Structures are given as structure tokens and as C-alpha cells.
Amino acid sequence: MPTKRASAAPQQLEADQVLSVRGLSIAYSTRRGPVQAVRDVSFDLRRGETLAIIGESGSGKTTLAVSLIRLSPRTAKITKGHILYRKEDETIDVASLGDSDLREFRWSECAMVFQAALNSFNPVISIWEQFLDTARAHGMMDAKHVRSRAGELLGLVNLDPERVLRAFPHELSGGMKQRVLIALSLLLKPSIIILDEPTTALDILTQRAIIDLLRRLREQLGFSMIFISHDLSLAAELADRVLTMYAGTVVERASVKDLFYRPRHPYSMGLLRAVPRVSGALGNVVSIAGSPPDLINLPGGCTYSPRCPFVIDECKLREPDLLAVDTPNHDARCIRWKHVAELVGKEEAVVAEKLGAAT
């Protein structure tokens, strides 16, 4: 899918930046018309940093993640924007890579651990063959070398390489498969690993083990992570920075502390407030009154305004830009952020407790 875009050649990335998404928009074509799944999304990812993307299902977070390695279904098209990636000293635009460059880019630069790790392996070939397939696709032809690298990685994720490599996918448990997939994602030493709801189908104990494992691997190996989740507690544990997505666009961009203690967008606040827990552990997103907007016919003005408790007439006029708020490196797409700031305050405490006390 070679795409030609009118905009001029993108700039170079700085040395410690590994990925920069700029003004990315993605639309699906359907019979009813184009679905604007991702609209004008921009963010940066630094080397070794973990970025969490949170939001309800249908907010476009998975579409965004998948598009970073251009794995979107055929009906989805990047309509605008760039995905800049710094490969050693040069900057490439993933959005305009040709087929063979793209294939090379996938996994060796940016690997992905899927939501349904349970089904991420071909059921009819052994785990070893799937390692070998991946290595061969990227020019690692020496089977012995692949074998020792696979053994090393499986050791890192606390699995017995002898047993696992010989096994077929159905012989492994869900948690084991997820570990194998994480090991496989590290095979080619990528700089970025995208994790799309990596723990959704697992039980609580296994979830915990996977999160601890990811944290340890990140310290040992120093890759960057993009972590997609609707589970705020997991995001809180792993992330350095957080993006909140709503209706296909970023509504808030903040450090993990700012977002959890000092949200400035009513939607982020709603997400956090929906889970009051004294222990400080945050559970799943519970629904906020109303439902997400129709992505084919978006409401005019701020897309959150129909559900927003703080809505004023001005909100309906136009969609606001991302505005810098009262804490550094923190933006919210809301003209009423000051109102939210008054309610939530600045102290380091869980939002649900602060608001719970107020009401």
C-alpha cells in the first residue's frame, strides 16, 4: 500500500526519540461511509520509555497500535500524518514504507504482543518452527544460532526451552503462551514492543506474573513499550506516560502521576472516578453515563460534550486543541480544564477518593 501524501518530507528525530507519531488519521471505508477511527493523533516515544494508551473499547486505541506496524485491515487507510521511526541514525516514515522494507521493519524494529496471545500461534506447527520462521524472515539463517537465542530468551521469561520449543501451541497454558510470545517478540532485539491488552484473557495471578516479567525485561534490555489497555491499574504500574483516547483522538497526554492524581480532562477523570477503591488499586473501567459517539457522524464541537458533566455552550462550537495545563508536559483537549483542576486539585492522592470525599 504505497501511499502518497502531499505534505513535505518529515523532519529528523532527536537521538533519544525512537518513535514520533504526527497528526495521524486513519479511516475505515464502510457502506455507511468512512469511519474515522483515529483522528489527528500525535505523540512521541523516547528510548526505554513506556507509554500507556487507555480508553474504552472503540476509542481507536487498537487501530492506532496496529497501524504503527501498518497491520490494519485492507479497508483501513492512513489519510493523514506520519509515523516517524529512528533507526540508528536515520529517520524513516513507516507510513510510506514499501512492502519489503515494511516486512523488514516489522518485528526487527517493532514487535507486537497481541490481545489474543492464546491464538497468536499457528496451531499446526511447533513453537520452535515459529521461532525459526520469524528468524528466517529476517535473514537469520543459522538454525543453531536461532536455537541458542531462543533458549536464552525462553530462559529469561522463566520457561524451560527444551520443553517449550518442542511443544505445539495447544500443549501450553495461556500464561505460558503469553510468555513465549514475549520471548518471541524479543528475538530480533526490537527497539519497541507494542502490547495490545496483553493480559486480558489471563487469570489474576498470571496477569501479575506477566506484568512483573515485563517490568524486569524492560530494565534488563532497555526497549520502549507501548501498552494498550482498558485496565487502568496495569497501565499505572508499567507506564511512564499515558495517553487517554476518546472517539479516535487523544484527549489527554500526561505523565503517569499527573494523569492518575491530577487529570485535567473530564473523560480521564470519569475513567478514574468510576473505580473507587480505598486500597489505591484501580480496577477496570466502568462505564460512564452515555455511550461513545458514532465515528461516522461525530457530534459537532467537543466529541465528549454529549456525555460531559461540565459542558457549556461554547463546548459545542468547535473541537478544542490539546491545551497545555497547569502541570508541565501535560495537555488536555478541554476548554474547561480549569474547572476540572479546581475539583481534583493538585495533591498526590487517588482521584476517586478525593472526589468521593467531596461529594
Binding site residues, another protein, CB under 8 A: 69, 71, 103-108, 111-112, 114, 116, 119-126, 133-134, 137-138, 168, 170-171, 184
* Shortest Å, Cβ 71 to another protein: 6
Answer for the pair 319, 301: CB distance below 8 angstroms, yes or no.
yes
Helix (H, G, I), strand (E, B) or coil at 262: coil
DSSP secondary structure letters along 327-348: STT-EES-TTHHHHHHHH-SSS
* Shortest Å, Cβ 313 to another protein: 41
| φ/ψ of residue 293, rounded to 5 | -75, 160
Instruction: Quote the CA–CA distance of 344 and 295 in Å, as a whole number.
Output: 30
Answer for the pair 227, 52: CB distance below 8 angstroms, yes or no.
yes
Answer for the pair 121, 50: CB distance below 8 angstroms, yes or no.
no
The sign one gets for the Cα dihedral 255, 288, 115, 19 is negative
* Shortest Å, Cβ 358 to another protein: 42
Tell me the CA distances in angstroms from 243 to 253, 289, 323, 347, one per residue in order: 5, 21, 14, 21
Answer for the pair 109, 192: CB distance below 8 angstroms, yes or no.
yes
Total residue length of the chain: 359
* Shortest Å, Cβ 26 to another protein: 16
For another protein, give the closer residue by CB, 16 or 101.
101
* Shortest Å, Cβ 351 to another protein: 35
Sole residue written with cell 507506564: 239
* Shortest Å, Cβ 193 to another protein: 11
For another protein, give the closer residue by CB, 106 or 273.
106
* Shortest Å, Cβ 22 to another protein: 23
For another protein, give the closer residue by CB, 140 or 311.
140
* Shortest Å, Cβ 294 to another protein: 21
Tell me the CA distances in angstroms from 217 to 7, 50, 310, one per residue in order: 39, 12, 42
For another protein, give the closer residue by CB, 116 or 324.
116
Answer for the pair 1, 70: CB distance below 8 angstroms, yes or no.
yes
Answer for the pair 57, 229: CB distance below 8 angstroms, yes or no.
no
* Shortest Å, Cβ 187 to another protein: 9
For 209-234, give one letter per residue: b (16+ CB within 10 A) or e: bbbebbeebbeeeebbbbbbbbbbbb
For another protein, give the closer residue by CB, 136 or 216.
136
Instruction: Quote the CA–CA distance of 261 and 180 in Å, as a whole number.
Output: 35
For another protein, give the closer residue by CB, 227 or 261.
227
For another protein, give the closer residue by CB, 70 or 265.
70
Query: What number of other Cβ atoms are within 10 A of residue 340's Cβ?
Result: 21
For another protein, give the closer residue by CB, 194 or 351.
194
